[in-house]
Structure 1
Amino acid sequence: MQEDIEIYVLSCPTEKIITWLESTFTLIDKSSPSPLCTKATIAVDNNEIEVTILEQAAGKRFTSIWFDSDKTPWEDDIACAKQAFEALNCEVRCNFQGWEEEGNQDPDQWWRINSHEEGPFIWN
């Protein structure tokens, strides 16, 4: 189980992301600390999870969705990315292996899901 889950969605409006969260989980709270940042609290199996949605997180077109909990319903970033792609129908990217402090992974190695393909690629 990962400590947290983070995915990046391409050209996907925050409101569409919130709608996905509302239809998948119980939305407890939502706020917008800044024009590009939305924070939400969702409930999953009696656990509250903080979610941060940050627009323009990677270039102008990618929005980060960060689930700050090890209690998410997904085993890893890729499982979350697959569900997000199904729900949002926009390209989703995530770290290929999950983040590890002592890992020797390539920091540019990512996983991409879009309507044309799914698989590892180098994002730089």
Structure 2
Amino acid sequence: MQTDIEIYVLSCPTEKIINWLESTFTLVKKSAPSSLCSKVTVIMNDHDVEVTILEQAAGKRFTSIWFNSDQTPWENDIACAKQAFNALNCEVRCNFQGWEEEGEQDPDQWWRINSYEEGPFIWN
């Protein structure tokens, strides 16, 4: 089980992301600490999960969606990315293997899902 889940969505409005979270989970709390950052708390598997939505997290067009919990319904980032792509209909990127403290993975190796393809690629 991963300690957290993080995906990046391309050109997807924050309100659309929050609507996806509301339609998929029970929304408990919502706040906007800054103009580029929204925080929501949702209930997943009977646990409160903090979700941070940060616009312009990777360049100006990518928004990060970070689930700060090991209690998500997804096995890994890619499983979350697939659900997000189906719900949001915008390109989704995530770390290829999940982040590991001592991993041997290439930090530029990512997974991309869009309407043309799905698979690994180098994001640098």
1:45-84 maps to which residues of 2 (within 5 A)? 45-84=45-84
Query: What corresponds to 1:29 in structure 2?
Result: 29
Looking at structure 1, the residues matched to 58 and 23 of structure 2 have their Cα atoms a distance apart, in angstroms, of 26
Deviation of the 1:46 alpha carbon: 1.0
TM-score by length of 2: 1.00
CA RMSD between the two structures: 0.3
| Residue 10, structure 1, aligned to residue 32, structure 2 | no
* Aligned length, in residue pairs: 124
Deviation of the 1:50 alpha carbon: 0.2
Query: 42-51 vs 75-84, which deviates more?
Result: 42-51
Point out where structure 2 has 5 or more consecutive residues left out of the alignment.
Answer: none
Looking at structure 2, the residues matched to 5 and 47 of structure 1 have their Cα atoms a distance apart, in angstroms, of 15
Looking at structure 1, the residues matched to 24 and 58 of structure 2 have their Cα atoms a distance apart, in angstroms, of 25
Query: How many percent of aligned residue pairs carry the same amino acid?
Result: 82
TM-score by length of 1: 1.00
Point out where structure 1 has 5 or more consecutive residues left out of the alignment.
Answer: none
Deviation of the 1:72 alpha carbon: 0.2
